[in-house]
């Protein structure tokens, strides 16, 4: 059904509201709830922490809240082997990727070793004259959910269009 993604996200949000009080420290529960509400993109979670200890605590709290609502998290990845090792002891995920060369995150490529987001861009050589339409067609093919490429794509498309 067309409404299925919305219903899944809505159910997960309700789970966050209903179960954040399962975390013993109220402030940590609120932080985990707010992270669930703001950092899940349908079924992918993407978050960042400034310390290894903070990442372990946040991931554990998120897992506890979602497990209370029967949402079983299956995959984790991190640029820290310490975080993944600790998650393997304390939570329910069944698949871990430690130091994978590249992994997919929200349709982008992520290198956990370097902690870099990568974009795969394949531009075709135009058949003949480079037109505004052909440039905009190529720019529109870029998948950029985070908006990182927007400044480059807009400037690039404007400068290419003016050249012809």
pLDDT score for 164: 47
Q: Is pLDDT at 159 greater than 70 in this prediction?
A: no
Indicate the burial class of 161 (C-beta count within 10 angstroms; 0-12, 13-18, 19 or more).
middle
pLDDT in tens, 131-151: 778 777 777 777 777 777 777
What is the pairing mode between strands 40-41 and 44-45?
antiparallel
Average pLDDT, the chain: 79
Q: Is pLDDT at 56 greater than 80 in this prediction?
A: yes
pLDDT score for 94: 47
Give the pLDDT mean for 52-64: 92
CA distance 164 to 152: 19
pLDDT score for 116: 82
């Amino acid at each position: 059904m067309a409404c299925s993604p919305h219903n899944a996200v809505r159910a997960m949000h309700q789970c966050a509201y209903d179960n954040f009080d399962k975390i013993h420290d109220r402030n940590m529960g609120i932080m985990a709830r707010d992270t669930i509400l703001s950092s899940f993109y349908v079924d992918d979670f993407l978050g960042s922490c400034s310390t290894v200890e903070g990442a372990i605590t946040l991931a554990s709290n998120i897992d506890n809240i979602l497990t209370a609502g029967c949402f079983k998290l299956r995959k984790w990845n991190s640029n820290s082997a310490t975080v993944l090792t600790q998650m393997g002891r304390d939570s329910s995920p069944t698949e871990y990727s430690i130091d994978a060369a590249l992994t997919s995150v929200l349709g982008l490529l992520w290198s956990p070793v370097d902690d870099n987001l990568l974009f795969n861009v394949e531009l075709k050589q135009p058949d003949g004259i480079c037109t505004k339409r052909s440039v905009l067609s190529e720019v529109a093919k870029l998948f950029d959910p985070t908006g990182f490429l927007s400044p480059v794509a807009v400037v690039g498309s404007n400068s290419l269009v003016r050249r012809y």
